[in-house]
Chains A and B, each alone.
Chain A
Amino acid sequence: MSRYERRWIVGVVHAIYPSDVTAGVTGFPLGAKEFPMDRFVEDFFRHTSFQARWGLRFAFFLFQILPFLFIGRFRFFHRLDPKDQQRYLECWHYHRFHVIREVTVLFKLVASLGFCGFPEVQERIGYDKPNRQPPL
């Protein structure tokens, strides 16, 4: 995976779990930006099967380049401001075509396996199991 691709994917994860600093309204004091999501993403793609890996990479690529089609912004996803990122995510998430909706469910899966797996996040949620470990 190239540096750019990783940055794109991590950008989507950051938008799914935005930091309070950028979004200002989540009420949750932590966001994906506070954690080494790039390392998680790298590990995630190393362990998934050939078809899942390529399917997901293709989906992330399309998602990155299509804001103009969905919200009329001629920018890549990672260059959108947080408000437009949220709007764009929701456009896909509530889309009438199943395939398009499913893409965001997959993104949510990747983001949640990463972000919600960090002990600091789990501590705050109240998931107080012993020997918590980060997803790395």
Chain B
Amino acid sequence: MTNPTDNPLYNSNQHVRGEFVEKDLYDEADYCIVGSGAAGAACARTLTKEGASVILVEEGPYYSSANYTVNVWKTMKKVCREAGMLAAITPSFSMPILQGTCVGGSTLINSAISWRLPEEAHHVWAKQFGLGEALPYAALENCFSTIEEELHIVSTPDNVAGKNNLLMKKGAQALGIPASPTLRAVHECEGKGLCLQGCPNHRKQSMTITYIPMALQKGARLYSSCRVEKISVEKGASVGVIGHFLSQDRQRKKMKLQVRARKGVILAASAIQTPLLLQRNRLANSSGQVGAHFQAHPGAAMLGFYKEEVRQWEGATQGFQTKPSWEKRYKLESLTLPPELLMIRMPGIGLKTMSYLDSLRHTALWVAAIRSEAQGKIRNFLGIPQVLYVPTPRDMETLRNALKTLADMHFAAGAYAVAPNVLGLPDLLTSPDQTRLLSEQPAQPGQVTMAATHLFGTCRMGVDPKTSVVNPRFECHDVKKLYITDSSVFPTNIGVNPQHTIIAMAMHASHGILDRGS
């Protein structure tokens, strides 16, 4: 099999690696896309397919498959924002936020779970934000179908599921909880359990091996290791961007890149970086909504301890899930973590934590992600990016119910103990009747260790320029030809894994942008 990650186009003159650039560069095209993750790559694919010329500028490096490693720190420092140390921090609550910063964005390190936008979410967008006409569900469905075919979205078969996933199936079946194998964008997954470090055998259909090469094939040009800092605006319309190439360790700015975009600039830098970029440029913010309404799906993990060996690292990274319930506001998933990240979730510290090292192979890890109602904020504070976010009491109640269900499922699957990871509860719950403690305990946000990877809402879409940043055509109300296509435009979170919807929305947006451009 040829190695699709190392598509020869990445080594052609269509790809400029910022680390090696020695002089200032200038380029121009119809469209300049900032960010090459789920949204940016989908735009590049769609625009080039229709004959537009595209320049894709990506802050992170091109991470060749030759460099993939199972070592978490080595991966994080190369491809994660702030080397994986980005977090929402307040005095009462903190939550790590993981994001990819490389060609392909977060899709290089995600699990490729794919869900269509729930109709309930679309209904809210239509009813509360007036988006029903501009974003018809049928149009999105067409995009979903295309993506499902192009990215091979399939259900995880039992033969690559691994025990972590199969135990979850057993637990859900025993309790009669509706659940199913995960739908993922993978092609002949071998169940290596390494999605978070970059799939070594190129089974996961990240943007790095799919839509970016497709766009390059159609003539797109890619500038990697180049951070866009300025959006150029003339006569109320965006006309290009200016960025700086970054040194190999990403600590130093090097030469300058100036891009002229004849038909528009598309921001697809993620729900955290897009508002920060606009704030730094003091653009598109007459509504004061840029960076506001930050939403997420905070998640918490529950470890089950089993007598038999589980070896959670064998099998698909995330191969089983419960059916998300819009009313219950949570979704449960299996998750494989490498030892470096697993040990952080072990109870206690020092000697106590260490005593669990030998039992790691007997653990199964499942997580609960909630459709939180909390809204936070992204801002530049003295030049330092800040994420402010605290789950609400209702979110905590949702999470407690979700955690209790996870614990019940573990016991139903045969676990002899679970680690609730909730301050104030015992380190281990050792019998099924103890799980009620999880729903009884009135947990404060800071008592539960959470993390987030699904982010939304910071440049939300709407018809009213006073309460939203972009119009239903994905164009900023305040700046013509400046488009935003990542999940910052989602008016709300969606209760399921977002990449499929992000890609579909970006495709849909691109069709509209093309119409407008012509």
Contacts and interface: CB of A to CB of B under 8 A. Distances in A.
Interface of A: 15-18, 23, 25-28, 31, 40, 43-44, 46-52, 85-86, 89-90, 93-94, 98-99, 101-102, 104-105, 107-109, 112-114, 116-117, 121-122, 124-127, 129-135
B73 interface: yes
A40 B249 CA distance: 16
Contact of A116 (B85, B93, B343): B343
A116 B358 CA distance: 12
A16 B284 CA distance: 48
A23 B92 CA distance: 34
B69 A16 contact: no
Nearest to B383: A50
Interface string B332-359: 0000001111111000111111110110
A46 B449 CA distance: 26
B361 A98 contact: no
Interface string B362-402: 00000000000000000000001000000000000000000
B348 A98 contact: no
B74 interface: yes
B71 A16 contact: no
B73 A117 contact: yes
A51 B352 CA distance: 30
B360 A135 contact: no
Given A48-B85, A105-B449, A117 B361 contact: no
Contacts of A135: 71-74, 340
A10 B361 CA distance: 27
B360 A89 contact: no
Contacts of A129: 70, 194, 313
A112 B350 contact: no
B358 A94 contact: no
B338 to A, nearest CB: 7
For B69, B311, B354, B361, the residue with the greatest tally of chain A CB atoms inside 10 Å of its CB is B354
B512 interface: no
A61 B74 CA distance: 26
A49 B92 contact: no
A131 B82 contact: no
A49 B91 contact: no
Contacts of B355: 26-28
A110 to B, nearest CB: 10
Interface string B413-441: 00000000001000000000000000000
B200 to A, nearest CB: 8
Contacts of A133: 69-71, 74
B312 to A, nearest CB: 10
A113 B354 contact: no
Given A28-B357, A47-B83, A127-B338, 11 more contacts: A18-B351, A26-B357, A27-B358, A28-B355, A31-B354, A44-B83, A98-B93, A102-B446, A113-B340, A116-B343, A126-B311
